[in-house]
Amino acid sequence: MLQCSRVDGTTPYHSLTLGVLTAQAPIAELCVLALRDPRAGWKPADGDPAKIGAAAAMLEEYLSIVIRDGALVALPQLIEGYAPPLNALPLFTLRLASHVDWLDRVGAVEEAESEAAATPAAGEAARTPAWTVQHVLLPSIRRSYEPPAAQSTDHTVVQVACTEQLYRIFERC
């Protein structure tokens, strides 16, 4: 279960709300669970899943993924008000360990971001894409999307209605 707390910082990830796990999830146990999943595609040649612990400082600094004493403690909440299903954590942890080259610092951050973006979808089989768009993405866009000025002049984004003007019209009725 996730509990959320606001974290302030300078990078975009550090300004996100952190989803703090109520019970720490040991990385080794998460990896063992993922190895039982045929979707993992892990091979011994992929390396030791426990090596993710060595990248804990980098994960926390760049992606706000907090690991303490070999256990996953917190994840960034990328969309306010939405916590991805936790059943995707084992596969996410294994893929971070086996598909990310932690020796290449810049490449590792980009690869870890890609894994973070792809993994929640693997655990959401019960929800349809239409449900996710309607209940997660659209409310998030309504709350936080601010289109650049260029999009309003080239008609990429068009204002459909202005509530202040609608209020004046209905006030007369």
Per-residue pLDDT of the chain (173 residues; tens, 9 = 90+): 333 333 333 345 555 556 666 677 777 777 777 777 766 666 666 666 566 667 778 888 878 888 888 888 887 777 776 666 677 788 888 878 777 887 887 888 888 888 777 765 544 455 677 877 887 778 878 777 788 888 878 888 887 877 777 777 677 66
Q: What pLDDT sits at residue 60?
A: 81
Sign of CA dihedral 76, 82, 83, 84: negative
Say which residues have a Cβ less than 8 Å from residue 126's Cβ, sequence separation at least 6. none
Structure tokens belonging to residue 4: 């959320």
Residue 32, helix vs strand vs coil = helix
- Domain-wise residue ranges, the chain: 2-122, 129-172
Q: What is the mean pLDDT of the chain?
A: 71
How many residues are listed for the chain in this entry? 173
